[in-house]
Amino acid sequence: MRVGVIGLGIMGAPMARNLLRAGHGVTVHSRTRTRVDALVAEGATAAESPAAVARAVEAVITMLPDTPDVEAVVAGPNGVLDGASPGLLAIDMSTIAPAAARALAARAAARGVAFLDAPVSGGEQGAIAGTLSIMAGGERVAFDRAAPLFAALGRQAIWMGGPGQGQMTKLVNQVVGAATLAAVAEGVVLATRAGLDPDGVVRALAGGAASSWMLTEQAPRMQRRDFAPGFMVRLQQKDLRLALAAAAEIDVPLPVTALVHQLFMVVEAHGGGELGTQALVTALEVLAGARSGT
């Protein structure tokens, strides 16, 4: 397919590369010219605006930081919808508010454009390896059209229902992931204070009911003080705010999520907003009197 990718950050750039490797014709746009140039050197075509991307392709993928960014790029002046012809497939793979995804789907439909909200889980490693988990909302026919693109980007793509349901599923993912990460951070601090062997703890827990991706991937990073971002604290905080707001709309309490959100605020208060989410351990260390912060 001829596909556009708008947003070439930690996730978007490797996703564009995987689409190129799969044989798709890729047109790219980013506010950062060096990121565009790097993809052009690998075979992509540059476009000067989201509207120009839309005019050149059959499908557009957006991978952007937050809801206002997606709204501006898709529906703002010189945005995707301004350049779209009827039949275009617009796929937002960012994490945004479900209500915003539903509103964008309605605006796209009025222009004859099919819109999918298709956020992902798997982080930078999954984006690089092409093993993301993709959760999509929108019309089933649009999901089926996107299958060749999803095959290049992820290990699985699951249709979750109508507009906004992909985003709601991603927020459930973030709630579960953040709570699990907090439990791992607590375990790391407890094991450290108890003088346990770090590698031994991870091996022991990974063989039983406490095993998780957060344990096997993030606990070793916490133990060696590796806070390089695969997913930044400030973006996790954005996702947790979205989850808490969406849950409040349907009268669902999320007390654990609210606590984890507060713990991440400790990390941010110590200047850790750009660190990886595994830096959550530093908030627990502050509470334990082990360290003064990041």
Per-residue pLDDT of 135-172, as tens digits, reads: 999 999 999 999 999 999 999 999 999 999 999 999 99
Which has the closest alpha carbon to 74: 86, 62, 57? Answer: 62
Which has the closest alpha carbon to 240: 252, 228, 254? Answer: 254
- Return per-residue pLDDT of the chain as tens, 294 residues: 999 999 999 999 999 999 999 999 999 999 999 999 999 999 999 999 999 999 999 999 999 999 999 999 999 999 999 999 999 999 999 999 999 999 999 999 999 999 999 999 999 999 999 999 999 999 999 999 999 999 999 999 999 999 999 999 999 999 999 999 999 999 999 999 999 999 999 999 999 999 999 999 999 999 999 999 989 999 999 999 999 999 999 999 999 999 999 999 999 999 999 999 999 999 999 999 976 556
Active site residue 170: yes
The pLDDT of residue 230 is: 86
* Non-local CB neighbours of 203 within 8 Å, separated by 6+ positions: none
What structural domains and CATH numbers belong to the chain? 2-162 (3.40.50.720), 169-287 (1.10.1040.10)
Q: What is the pTM of this model?
A: 0.93
The pLDDT of residue 36 is: 98
Q: Looking at the DSSP assignment, which residues form a beta bridge with residue 149?
A: none
Active-site hit among 145, 170, 234, 261 = 170
